[in-house]
Amino acid sequence: MSSNEMFDDYTPKKKAKSRAYSLCWNSKANIGFPGVFLFCCLFFLAGFFASNLLSQRGRRLESLDYDLMARGETGDDSVSVIPFQVISWRPRAFYFPNFATPAQCQHIIDMAKPKLEPSTVLLAKGETQQPNDVRTRVATFLLYLSDVEGGGETAFPFEDGLNMDENYDVKKCIGLKAKPRLGDGLLFYSLFPNNSIDPTSTHGSCPVIKGAKWVATKWIRDQQDF
């Protein structure tokens, strides 16, 4: 907030207060000081909340600026937003905080558990790039199903073209790192929009130092997914 906005914000309140005082003294002179004081406080609070409401209304009107489609029987009358953060443009990587609820994550773990060996390495393997496979993979979506007490970050060692001369060793865990947090999602592209491979999308899972890492991996391919 700039100092100008602060000024705009506070001026009407001050005006409301002084107006309240003059009104008190002119017409309610016989109600005594406590009454006057209370009345003035109420007036001040009313002005304060009214100006707050008005500014919120302004924000809501902004969302009404969308020219919405007619909805179907089961649709919504409002726009929905999935908040995300661009954590990198090279590679194109997008972080989705609170993508899934803890209950949804637990449900996925419960479904997967009977089919898996109890090994965090197996789960982490899905994050490791297999060169023969990458050509058909456009993007990867990771959903972190658990918090990890130490380590376990998804690392992009070549982010922004850095470290590309060195030998890639994921154990060194360098470059851009996304910390696994329960319910958060990470989407990144392996291909440029022109379909050529983005070398900065090379990634791996840093070693888990403490705790267990659970992650659901969805590969998005340009061919049929088997």
Shorter beta-carbon distance to ligand NAG: residue 168 or 192: 192
* Region near ligand NAG per CB under 6 A, out of 102-110, 135-143, 158-166, 190-198: 190-198
What's the closest the beta carbon of residue 163 comes to ligand NAG, in angstroms? 18
Asked if 168 is part of the footprint of ligand NAG (rule: CB under 6 A), the reply reads: no
One-letter amino acid for residue 156 of the chain: F
Please identify, using beta-carbon distances, which residue of 140 and 201 lies nearer to ligand NAG.
Answer: 201
Cα distance between residue 56 and residue 14, in whole Å: 20
CA distance 222 to 226: 12
What single-letter DSSP state applies at residue 68? P
194 binds ligand NAG (CB under 6 A): yes
- Using CB under 6 A as the binding criterion, the count of chain residues that bind ligand NAG stands at 3
The span from the first CA to the last CA of the chain, in angstroms, equals 52
CA-angle at 53, arms to 50 and 54, nearest 5°? 85
Enter the DSSP assignment of 84: -
According to CB under 6 A, which residues from 33 to 92 bind ligand NAG? none
Q: Are 163 and 200 in contact (CB under 8 A)?
A: no
Is residue 223 close enough to count as binding ligand NAG by CB under 6 A? no
- Residue keyed to tokens 């130092």: 209
Least CB distance from residue 103 to ligand NAG, whole Å?
A: 40
Q: How far is the CB of 194 from ligand NAG (least distance, A)?
A: 4
Whether the Cβ atoms of residue 61 and residue 37 lie closer than 8 Å to each other = no
CB of 89 to ligand NAG, least distance (A): 10
Burial letters for 64-76: b for 16+ Cβ neighbours within 10 Å, e otherwise?
Answer: eeeeeeeeeeeee
How many CB atoms are closer than 10 A to CB 130? 9
For the bound state, the minimum distance from the C-beta of residue 200 to ligand NAG, rounded and expressed in Å, comes to 10
**Closest CB to ligand NAG among residues 39, 192:** 192
Distance in Å, CB of 193 to ligand NAG, minimum: 7
Q: Which of 26, 196, 223, 224 is close enough to bind ligand NAG by CB under 6 A?
A: 196
Interface with ligand NAG by CB under 6 A: which residues? Answer: 192, 194, 196
